[in-house]
Structure 1
Amino acid sequence: MQKYYERISTGVKGLDELIEGGLIPGRVYLITGPPGSGKTTFGMHFLLEGARKGEKVAYVSLIHKPEEVVKDMLRFDPSIYVYVNKWKLMLYDLGPVLWRESTRVPTWRSVLSRIREIVEDEGISRLVIDPLTAIDFPLQNPVEKRVELAKFIRGLEDLGVTAYLIAEMIEMDKYSEEHFLVSGIIILHYFMHQGRMIRAIQIYKMRGTRHDSNLKLLKFTDKGLVVYNKSPFGAVEDGE
């Protein structure tokens, strides 16, 4: 008999239905795409869904001020301050802390050490690290880099959290080590088609889950991101 995994919601309307009811908990997922594609908003939807269910969740920033991220999300979900004030949604600005400790930019080991403290001290169940591309790797050997990154991802899995790693992806046809090591990859797109800018989401990889890898329509609404189970190209032709 086939064993089905427990699922947790992504918090993005329309997405759970495309991945057999949601994410497999305790795994690490990569959220990638070009600048302005909605990656941070996507991550905040995930955290707010957990906070609404009574979980303690954390947004870990390596560059941006978390307070600014909260302000940006306020337009979609005014309740976000309720969860921040109740310490259900915890904000950590690790960039300045890690840079003060070293003349180098943050490394995999230093970030994992800090995250381990946060998760264990606060009982965090959902985690967003934004952006992964802020973490440096001092060694040039690609094999050693993959080993260190594998340790980083395995370390997150060992903590029992469900984690989003947010990363910029400028060249959509190039892949790096994290693409092969994470349990799932969700790519957010935007591009011009027939004179109109359209957004799309692609479930590129999702271990243990049946999924359609074709582009699906993605929209910013007054409630945030919404996924539609249809082609973004058809939506333009229909005048949506």
Structure 2
Amino acid sequence: MQEHSETPIPRAATGIEGLDLVLHGGLVDGRIYLLEGNPGAGKTTLALQYLLEGVRHGERCLYITLSETRHELIDNARSHGWSLDGIEILELLADNMQVDGEGELTMYHPSEVELGATTRRALAKVEELKPRRVVLDSLSELRLLAQSSLRYRRQILGIKQFLGAYSCSVLLLDDRTGEGSDMQLQSIAHGVISLDSQTPAYGRTLRQLRVVKFRGSDFRSGVHDFIIGKGGITVFPRLSAAEHGASFTREKVPSGVPSLDALMGGGIDRGTTTLLVGPPGSGKSTIALQYAHAATLRGDHAAIFSFEEAQAILFDRARGLGMPVNEGPGPGQIAVRQIDPAEISPGEFAQRVRHAVESDQARVVVIDSLNGYLNALPEDKFLTAQLHELLAYLNNHGVVTFLVAAQSGMLGPAMRSPIDASYLADSVVVLRMYEHDGSVRKAISVVKKRSGRHEDSIRRMWFDSDGVHLSEPLMHLRGVLTGVPTELQPGSGDKPVPRGLDAL
């Protein structure tokens, strides 16, 4: 059980901001940590960032390599724009090691039994340099030299006891080449960080990090997305909406179109999410754009995250509707971000949304569309949980959020949504296409609004160079939502207007 103390626990920052947030400040000083992952998972990159952070703080740092050469490490660092000046590199490659026999590799304690040649050279360097940070890459080589799990465990225990006397923080890298999961090694280490990756049928490799164990400190549990790019690893901590929020005034946000505001009961309440659902071409994105444009006229900032429509096409469409986009991250501007679902993870997308809200002060956020967001997830079953946290986060910051969902099909009751997200939204606006007088027209209605009243009517909607227009409620039509309505006789209640031979 962790003891509570007012004295903060000394931490060793990793040099990766997102990982430090996951670890609540970084690794605890003077302890041994296991960093495990398959080859190519990013272990060496993370380890180098960890040592470079130590160099920036004036600490002595040692990289002990049993697999890669000094030149390979320098080349890897150069690809990220780094210099390894200030990091002592000790090469213990297999070709240079002297392994005399089984007894040479057995180690109970440094003061009791002579260490193996490999271990002895490594620990001698630690004793000479007295570093604050040490990386040992990799344990798979020590496992092969030990030849048995018993000797391997004893060697690791000896290393742990020896390094503990020098109060240095140690990263042990393991590439999981041993048979099965090395639970013994996990039990020895003070903390375990696991790096995993998935390669979808199409698109970028999805990388994830999780903290399996972290003695002496709390941490953010769960799976966290990360990427490896020029400059190293970037970690996107799992979003927890309960940890984020800001004070705001609950007020109605107008659209700038009086008839649309009347349909919505005076406007959309700040700190709520509105789902715009309908078939392709029914006007969902245009309605969201209208609210974003109205926000800029009030001097607010709006952000549109477009998974499907190209930025240039959106600008042209907005200009044709009389809503020219003043693109940018500031007040009175709309930031339009083109999102490629094959090249982004949910964690990275959530981080971009957070940046728009916390740094750019976005007051209106449009996610267009739910279909594209769904494609960005490696597994559909996590969509609802991820989306719930993101929408709750936006609501906690007083943001007016619009979530666009395209349904398959064009007319009639056979239309289907990719996922039922209606219960996550505070308001649900349904848009439909219907046939009337030889034309295909658009209709809009509100079927849900948790935060107040709204019209129950159905209105016709159309767009032109002056923007968005809504008609009076369609009292003379029945069955608009089916796509093929019938017209009612004026003053005759629900009696249809006679057509064709029926009129004779």
TM-score range, shorter chain: 0.7 to 0.9
| Structure 1 match to 2:88 | 90
* Root-mean-square deviation over aligned CA pairs: 2.8
Distance 2:174 2:226 in 1: 18
Unaligned segments of structure 1, at least 5 residues: none
| Structure 2 match to 1:129 | 136
| Structure 2 match to 1:220 | 228
Asked if structure 1 preserves the Cα contact closer than 8 Å seen for 2:62 and 2:135, the reply is: yes
**Which amino acid letter does the alignment assign opposite residue 92 of structure 1?**
L
Deviations 1:145-169 (A, max 9, x none): 5344322222222222111110112
Q: CA deviation at 1:72?
A: 0.8
Distance verdict in 2 for CA 1:175–1:184, change over 3 Å: same
Deviations 1:48-78 (A, max 9, x none): 1111111111111112102211211112233
**Which amino acid letter does the alignment assign opposite residue 99 of structure 2?**
S
Pick the structure with more helix per residue. Answer: 1
- SS for the counterpart of 1:14 is helix
Distance verdict in 2 for CA 1:65–1:44, change over 3 Å: same
Deviations 1:109-141 (A, max 9, x none): 33432222212212311111101110122446x
**Which amino acid letter does the alignment assign opposite residue 186 of structure 2?**
H
**Which amino acid letter does the alignment assign opposite residue 102 of structure 1?**
V
Say which structure, 1 or 2, has more relative contact order (CA 8 Å, 6+ apart). Answer: 1
Distance verdict in 2 for CA 1:172–1:21, change over 3 Å: farther
Distance 1:229 1:93 in 2: 34
Q: Does 1:102 align with 2:99?
A: yes
**Which amino acid letter does the alignment assign opposite residue 234 of structure 1?**
P
Bigger shift: residues 46-55 or 89-98: 89-98
Map 1:12-161 to 2 at 5 A.
Answer: 12-78=16-82, 80-81=83-84, 83=85, 88-96=86-94, 99=97, 101-102=98-99, 107=105, 109-110=115-116, 111-135=118-142, 136-139=145-148, 142=150, 145-161=152-168
- SS for the counterpart of 1:15 is helix
Deviations 1:68-112 (A, max 9, x none): 11211112233x14x2xxxx211111125752x225699463343
Asked if structure 2 preserves the Cα contact closer than 8 Å seen for 1:31 and 1:186, the reply is: yes
| Percentage of pairs with the same residue | 22
**Which amino acid letter does the alignment assign opposite residue 131 of structure 1?**
S
Distance 1:165 1:215 in 2: 21
Distance verdict in 2 for CA 1:229–1:169, change over 3 Å: same
Unaligned segments of structure 2, at least 5 residues: 108-114, 240-343, 350-371, 378-504
**Which amino acid letter does the alignment assign opposite residue 48 of structure 1?**
L
Asked if structure 1 preserves the Cα contact closer than 8 Å seen for 2:69 and 2:93, the reply is: no
Q: Does 1:200 align with 2:208?
A: yes
Distance 2:124 2:193 in 1: 27
Asked if structure 1 preserves the Cα contact closer than 8 Å seen for 2:140 and 2:178, the reply is: no
Distance 1:97 1:195 in 2: 40
After TM superposition, which residue ranges in structure 1, 4 or more long, deviate above 3 angstroms? 103-109, 144-148, 170-173, 193-196, 235-240
Asked if structure 1 preserves the Cα contact closer than 8 Å seen for 2:130 and 2:166, the reply is: no
Larger CA Rg, structure 1 vs 2: 2
Q: CA deviation at 1:233?
A: 5.9
Which of 10, 15, 26 is the aligned partner of 2:14? 10
Bigger shift: residues 31-40 or 154-163: 154-163
| TM-score (ref. length: structure 2) | 0.42
Bigger shift: residues 106-115 or 60-69: 106-115
Q: CA deviation at 1:174?
A: 2.1
**Which amino acid letter does the alignment assign opposite residue 217 of structure 2?**
T
Distance 1:104 1:41 in 2: 34
Distance 1:228 1:172 in 2: 31
Asked if structure 1 preserves the Cα contact closer than 8 Å seen for 2:81 and 2:231, the reply is: yes
